[in-house]
Amino acid sequence: MLYPLLRKALFQLSPEKAHQVSMSSLHFLAQLPGGKSFLKQQFQYQGKDLSKKVLGLHFPNPVGLGAGFDKNAEHLDVLSLLGFGFIEIGTVTPKAQAGNPSPRLFRLPSDQALINRMGFNNEGVEAITTRLKKYRSQNQSDLIIGGNIGKNKVTENEDAWKDYCINFKGLEEVVDYFVVNVSSPNTPGLRALQEKEALRKIFSELQLLNKNKKPILLKIAPDLETSALDDIIQLTKEINIDGLVSSNTTLDRTLLNADNQKLAETYGAGGLSGKPLLTKSNDVLSYLHKGLESNTPIIASGGIFTGEDAKEKLDAGANLIQVWTGFVYEGPRMVKNICEYLSSSHH
Ligand SMILES: Cc1cc2nc3c(=O)[nH]c(=O)nc-3n(C[C@H](O)[C@H](O)[C@H](O)COP(=O)(O)O)c2cc1C
């Protein structure tokens, strides 16, 4: 009930500043006496009926936080208090990189959307692994942690597989599953790695390293042509891809209202997320689910705000869902709201 007010205040700040302020406030609240139990009681869904086993892992509920929200794994303790069943850290690259110059994140409130061209700003695999080791040693929670991995901007596409392998070796001990991100629009040329032979190389090299059989998923763009989706479906039948994350942000600005299309032009390049992405990402999800014949788990991402949105994804074949932009607009009770809806609709 309070969040619309809080959101109004936060939206006075730049989006990146608002993100920092929200996270610091959450850390502050959590360390007050009784703070953790207050947050848990307010925001965590306590029922056990939504737990499920996917990818061989036990998820307390199917609602996760998408990659890019906690890129450096700095906020897992407080984000888990908000009830997420799983959190995907990253995108992590081998070397630390600053990302694109600011401003690089924009709000489009009348469409409940965001545009970003962050460009994989992150502290690099070593620093992030060290932080995760510390987190693991201090916390016995049932939170599932995914490691979303990418390549450095300076790495040529033909050498990209080496970057994915470096990330894999670094993070293997500290994450529960991996996501190969070849679908961000903000690293020049990255999306070309969604091509069949490039994927075959990356996945076969990763699986050679994967002695402990950690699930390795592929995250795709919603802008792929049907023929490219067919290639990916075919590839999952030929080689070992444990699941898909569908989808990343879109380049399609026609999904915005006319005013925002003009505004978006002034913002420049970037991926669009939030409400306008829902239908488009659902279409891709349905197509993949039908093609895969239920053999490959799918984590659905794109435009989820409400329990109804989440159920639509699950009904279209998703095994798990992830939120990002919706969390900015809906606030900290979002996960609980979705879980309560799913529970009452007997998903
Ligand atoms: C600011 C921002 C940064 C993101 N960074 C990443 C990232 O580093 N890696 C990634 O795979 N996806 C990233 N994403 C994409 C989200 O994980 C998600 O797939 C996408 O935003 C669609 O979901 P949504 O409509 O719920 O936001 C980012 C999204 C936003 C808004």
**CATH code (residue 225):** 3.20.20.70
* Strands of 271-274's sheet in order across: 105-108, 113-116, 271-274
The answer to whether the beta carbons of residues 146 and 177 sit under 8 Å apart is: yes
Nearest to 144 by CA among 208, 215, 203, 198: 215
Domain count of the fold of the chain: 1
Owner of token pair 């349905």: 286
pLDDT tens digits for range 168-224: 999 999 999 999 999 999 999 999 998 999 999 999 999 999 999 999 999 999 999
Catalytic residue among 184, 246, 273, 301: 184
pLDDT tens digits for range 80-123: 999 999 999 999 999 999 999 999 999 999 999 999 999 999 99
Q: Which domain holds residue 179?
A: 3-344
Give the pocket of ligand 1 (CB within 6 Å). Answer: 66-68, 71, 90-91, 105, 114, 116, 118, 120, 148, 181, 184, 219, 248-249, 273-274, 277, 301-304, 323-326
Instruction: Provide DSSP, 298-324.
Output: EEEESS--SHHHHHHHHHTT-SEEEES
Owner of token pair 């607009």: 329
- Distance in angstroms (rounded) separating the CA atoms of residues 294 and 290: 7
- Distance in angstroms (rounded) separating the CA atoms of residues 253 and 257: 9
- How far, in Å, is the centroid of ligand 1 from the Cα of 33? 33
Tokens of 29: 């609240």
The answer to whether the beta carbons of residues 165 and 203 sit under 8 Å apart is: no
Q: Which atom of ligand 1 is nearest to the CA of 90?
A: 8
pLDDT tens digits for range 282-291: 999 999 999 9
- How far, in Å, is the centroid of ligand 1 from the Cα of 67? 6
- How far, in Å, is the centroid of ligand 1 from the Cα of 68? 5
